[in-house]
Each structure stands twice: as C-alpha cells, then as structure tokens.
Structure 1
Amino acid sequence: MAQVRSKNTTPEIAVRKAAHALGLRFRLHRKGLPGTPDLTFASRRVAVFVHGCFWHRHDCDRATSPASNVEYWAAKFDRNVRRDARNAADLRKAGWRCVRIWECETKDAKKLAVILRRKVVSMPKVP
C-alpha cells in the first residue's frame, strides 16, 4: 500500500484540468481544512475530494473487495468511509460545502465538465 499515492493521482489531475478549462482557480491540498481537500475554491467555499472508488467504496464496478484477509479489508474500508463522513461534517460546520468526485466520473472529460459545472460553478460566490 505504500505505492498508493494520495496526491497528484491521475483522477485528481483530470479534475484539475477540467476545472482549469472551465476558468476556475483553486488551491491544492489545503492543510488547514478537515481531510485536506484535493481542491478548494475559496471564493465559493467549496472543498472537492477526488475519491478512488476502491478505497472509498463507491457503488460501481471498481469497488471490489479482496478475497483474502477479508476482515482486515472490511475494517479498513469501514474506517475510510467513516473518516470521509466525519471530514465532510467538519467542513460543513466550518461553513464549507463538500463535493465528492469519484474516480469513475473522471474517465470522460465531457461528463466531468458537466459535473464540475453542476457542483462547483453553480455555487454562488461567498461575499
């Protein structure tokens, strides 16, 4: 698992490119926020997490479970999901909107642009 990157992943870079193409400007991996969001749009107070379907248990084909050491993996996945929910709740308490983009949603650039327009661009700017 040491080879699994947490920053600058292929799906994250796809989201960055799509956001930049839409004219959005953002900060990366803001440490002062719960969960260290992958992208933050401060003017809209939107925090974006780009989640891998396998690690964060999305309801798609990529979220398979290993056949060996089942108890370990079940506990690990459960901890990941609980941590994600806790981080999202903490962000909401701090006045941020939390957006989750799944790895499988980053495969098609046009669909990703639609998702970003709907989840980020449509959010009003905070005065």
Structure 2
Amino acid sequence: MTTPDELRSRTMRAVRSKDTKPEMIVRKLIHGMGYRYRLHRKDLPGSPDLVFAARRRVVFVHGCFWHGHDCKRGARQPKANAEYWREKIERNRARDSRATGGLTANGWLVATIWECELGNREHLKDRLRSFLDDQA
C-alpha cells in the first residue's frame, strides 16, 4: 500500500519539462504548417521549446498551472503545501521573465503559447503564422 506522500512523489517525478503533451501538439501543428525548427537550444536564455534561428524567433509552450497563467487552470491553488507552490510558481514566472528579457535584448522575438490556447487550433495556427511570417 502506498501512502499519499509516496503517490504524490511518484506523480511529481512523472511531470516532464520537455516533450510535454502541449509542446508535442504545438510542434506537430507547426511542422504540419511547413515550418522547421530546432528544439531546446541550451545556448539561448531559457532553452526555448522551439527555435526558428533564421527568423530570430522562439516559441515557449507553457503549462498554465506551472507558469502561473491568469486562466482558470493557472489560477488554481493547491490545498496541500500552498506556500511552497505559490513560491515555486512565482520563481517560474521570474525565470520566464528573465529568459524573455535576455532573448529580446539579443534581438529575438518571443511568443508564448499557453496550454489553455490549444483548444482553438485554427486561431493558434493564425497566431503562429502571423508571428513566424511577420517581417518586424
């Protein structure tokens, strides 16, 4: 019999930082649109999920809960260990802000796709096409 703490620990170990379901959906969508990209370039601030080097554009795919989005899922507050999770999400948001700042300071354009945006694929396609093709 596993205890609730062991179960929670096992669940948290299963949470991935790369190749998440939302990231895979966005990757498949963009690839199907004909764009090619590199993954998780460690030489760029924040190791962006998708890098379009020739276009000087990067895409981050964020989970709403983990990155503190202002949607219903992102606003959800855990009941157990609430202070830890509040601080953890705040650290994630600060790290995201530093990564975006570092990228823009070096001439990169940054788009963030939130997990909650994946429901409307046509709108997402339009947004991505506009972001990737814009000659800014």
Flag whether TM exceeds 0.5 (same fold): yes
Question: Which residue pairs with 2:72 in the alignment?
Answer: 61
Letter matched to residue 132 of structure 2: V
User: Deviation string for 1:42-63 (max 9, x for gaps)?
Assistant: 1110011000000001111111
Which structure has the larger Rg over C-alpha atoms?
A: 2
**What TM-score does the superposition give when structure 2 sets the normalisation length?**
0.85
1:18 alignment partner AA: L
Query: What fraction of aligned residue pairs are identical, expressed as a percent?
Result: 52
Please tell me whether residue 50 in structure 1 is matched to residue 65 in structure 2: no
* 2:48 aligned residue: 37
Number of residue-to-residue matches in the alignment: 124
**Contact map agreement 1:18 1:112 (CA 8 A) in 2:** no
Task: Quote the residue 1:91 is aligned against.
Answer: 103
Higher relative contact order (CA 8 A, sep 6+): 1
Instruction: Give the whole-Å Cα distance in 2 for the aligned partners of 1:59 and 1:120.
Output: 25
* 1:55-82: CA deviation from partner (whole Å, max 9, x where unpaired): 0011111111101211111110110000
Give 1:118 shift: 2.3
Long gaps (5+) in structure 2: 1-11
Displacement of 1:89: 0.4
Distance 2:33 2:54 in 1: 15
Measured in 1, the distance between the counterparts of 2:97 and 2:40 equals: 18
1:1-127 mapped onto 2 (5 Å cutoff): 1-63=12-74, 64-122=76-134, 124=135
Q: 2:100 is paired with a residue of what secondary structure? A: helix
CA distance in 1, matches of 2:17, 2:93: 16
Larger helix percent: 2
Shift of 1:119: 2.0
Give, as a single letter, the amino acid of the residue that structure 1 aligns with 2:111.
V
Q: Equivalents in 2 of 1:15, 1:106: separation in Å?
A: 8
What is the identity, as a one-letter code, of the residue corresponding to 2:102? D
